[in-house]
Amino acid sequence: MKGFDLKAVKEEARGAINMLKQCLQQALVRKENLVEDLMRAERDRDQSVEGIKLQMESANASAQAYERELDAVKGQLGAARSQTVAVEGELKAAREEAESELRRVRDQADWDARRHDDDFEAKDNEIKSLRARHEATQESLREVRADLAAVRESAARSEREAHALKRDRENGEAAYAAERKALEDQIRAKIDEVTTERANANRARSEFDEKLRGKTAEVDKLSRQLKLLEAQAENIEQGGRKTKAELSSKLASAESELEGVTKEFNREKTRAEETEKGLNEALAAAVARGDELEGSLATVTADAASLKQKLNAAQARVDELESQALDADAMRRALHNQIQELRGNVRVFCRVRPTTSETACVDVAADGASVALTKSQGGDKESSVAGFEFDRVFGPSSTQTEVFEEVSQLVQSALDGYKVCLFSYGQTGSGKTHTMLGDQACEKTRGIIPRAVAKVVEASEANAKKGWRYDMTASYVEIYNEQVRDLLCAGSGHSDKHSIVHTPRGVTEVSGVRREPVASVDAAAGLVRRAASARAVEATQMNAVSSRSHTIFMLYITGTHDASGSRLTGCLNLVDLAGSERVGRSGAEGARLKEACAINKSLSCLGDVFQALSNKQSHVPYRNSKLTYLLQPCLGGDGKTLMFVNINPEAPSAEESLCSLKFASQVNAVELGGGRGAKRNITSGMASGANASGGGGGGGGGSSSGKGAEKKGEKNAGKKRAAAGGGAGGGDAAKKKTRTKR
């Protein structure tokens, strides 16, 4: 584990403090720049307001000149009215001289028309002049708008800079944004008012032009023209007064707006001063915090040293616990081996097949350890009853799960480095294959072979957390007519080319057969299903799907513990024997007869082996059959063996059942290996590993002290189990010592 770098932490803290100081100094500089920009914007705004005032005064002067021009027009209209009255009087006085007077009147009218045309032309020139002045006013307004846009842009820029400096005062900025928006709305409203006024002026000008054109068209009707001119003059006079009032109102509004902008500037200036004060306080607090952090470095240094010491102590404790876990695992294996040996190297379980017949001849005792067979003698003779005791008896109602629970600990021994053999024996149709294989499609009815493989795989995965690494491979063969066939190789026939080899390492192999890796429970299940479908079965009078061969599933297990250097080598042999049967009862003929003879011969050889072991003969005939030669390491005392004797409880099968029970009793009396116990295949690269294996109860490479401890452990374990009054271990051993034949 990497140490705690206090110096690096201190440098990071100082760097963070310096960076904070630089940020505060930059914030002060930005604040000063913002104040200068605000003052500059205030000066620009004052200049813009002064320009607006000058433009308003110019517009007021233009309005006054416009009023004077209207008065002049009124005077001209009055003169025209007087002339018209004089002309009418002259017409009444000189009616007689109508012709000459008419010409004079026409001449006078022509002269008046020309004079009016001149007057109208002068007025038109005056209107053009007014238009020019209006356009100048519009240009001034555009300049004012440009100034206002510049002021608005400056205000927006000031707002952005203020926003960068015042992130922690969002509420104040929001208020400022709202006030600024209100000011912009006011400015836009003023601009809209000026635009409206300009449109009104244009509309008035258009109306005035239209009226002038009407007057020119109606020059022949002087009276009507005079009335229209008077009305137009009155309208113009009213428009002038209205324009003057509007301009005065605009001037007052502009002055009010100027006052509001001035107040807003003062408020913004006050906010800037408050912000400066807050930044100064934050800078002082940051400096104080930096001093505090520097003062805390000593405490952090002390804490880091303390934590490092605790870490070293914790690491030492972890190493100690790992060592204890290895020792505990070795002790567990030793105790487990002692328990299995106290139960007997060869254990025999009996299982009675369910039946629907009412003539059952087999009864299972309530203690689950004995069975009685009633054999009818025929006629008036009394029936004979034979009783047998075994390590465990399963009645017809026993489930596959209950059966496997009893053999699961023996399966565990293969994972601990022992050679384990489990085989089923019985007549045809007694349920051997159901016990060993079962129905793999249903979880509840799976047999011992698929359950055992699944348990080994799951246990190896659990032990991986303790540092164990397992490599598992499997072979599946059948012995048919004393020939070996590979069930995992598609299309493989029975041949003598497969030979059985016992290696110097204590491993039994069949040459030329396939060994497939077993990496998961699903892979193992698929392997078992494939082999089961390739097995040789035929129909007989006793069983429609009778197994005509012995099948042996061999699982090779190698466990390695890198930390301790230990290496375990175990093997699990699961054997489903072909059915023992009387040739006459099975009705075998031809090829079936040859198969039955081969089966009975190999089973007879198995019985001879157990007979020789029971008599402790120096020579045991393992080589008399390929079945016994293949199982020699397990039957010779170096391994652990369990036999299942399967019984058909129906009365017609009583003779075969009795033979099976007698054979099982013979096997149950065998003590393998001269009582020295099973041999554990373990090698160790460490002294502790050798001691652990020596204490494992008969393990290979163990010391004499380990064997003495094993014997002492067996004796103590036997006493405890005898005191407990039974169980699957010492209780069964006690029963075997006190067993009587009935």
State pLDDT tens for residues 136-164: 777 776 776 677 677 667 666 766 765 66
The predicted model gives 89-105 an average pLDDT of 61
**Is residue 551 a known part of a binding site?**
no
**Is residue 433 a known part of a binding site?**
yes
**Is residue 429 a known part of a binding site?**
yes
Structural domain range at position 410: 400-647+676-696
**Domain end: 240, 261, 286, which one?**
286
**Is residue 641 a known part of a binding site?**
no
Q: Give helix 222-343 / helix 98-165 axis angle, nearest 10°.
A: 20
Q: Kindly state whether residues 418 and 281 are assigned to the same domain.
A: no
Residue 193 belongs to a domain: yes
Residue 632 belongs to a domain: yes
Residue 202 belongs to a domain: yes
| pLDDT, tens digit, 9 for 90 and up, residues 18-74 | 777 777 677 777 777 777 777 787 787 778 767 777 776 776 676 677 667 667 766
**Is residue 430 a known part of a binding site?**
yes
Ranges 250-259, 343-352, 672-681: which has the least confidence: 672-681
| pLDDT, tens digit, 9 for 90 and up, residues 353-396 | 998 777 788 888 888 889 998 887 665 555 678 899 998 999 99
CATH number at residue 479: 3.40.850.10
- Does position 514 have pLDDT exceeding 50, yes or no? yes
Residue 238 belongs to a domain: yes
Residue 471 belongs to a domain: yes
Distance of alpha carbon 443 from alpha carbon 69, whole angstroms:
117
Higher pLDDT, 428 or 506: 428
- Whether the model clears a pTM of 0.75, i.e. scores above it, the answer is no
Distance of alpha carbon 566 from alpha carbon 557, whole angstroms:
14
**Is residue 123 a known part of a binding site?**
no
Torsion of CA 516, 517, 519, 521, to 10 degrees: 30
Q: Kindly state whether residues 506 and 636 are assigned to the same domain.
A: yes
Domain count, the chain: 2
Q: Kindly state whether residues 140 and 18 are assigned to the same domain.
A: yes
What are residue 565's phi and psi, to 5 degrees?
A: 75, 10
Q: Kindly state whether residues 422 and 274 are assigned to the same domain.
A: no
**Domain end: 286, 307, 333, which one?**
286
Q: Give the CA distances from residue 164 to residues 40, 176, 285, 726, in Å, rounded to whole numbers and listed in that order.
A: 20, 14, 20, 86
**Domain end: 265, 286, 307, which one?**
286
Which candidate, 391, 395, 371, places its Cα nearest to that of 735?
A: 391
Which candidate, 500, 532, 560, places its Cα nearest to that of 433?
A: 532
Residue 419 belongs to a domain: yes
Q: Kindly state whether residues 543 and 680 are assigned to the same domain.
A: yes
Residue 383 belongs to a domain: no
Residue 99 belongs to a domain: no
Q: Kindly state whether residues 280 and 406 are assigned to the same domain.
A: no
* Range of 32-46, 222-236, 399-413 with top mean pLDDT: 399-413
**Is residue 426 a known part of a binding site?**
yes
| pLDDT, tens digit, 9 for 90 and up, residues 304-316 | 788 888 888 887 7
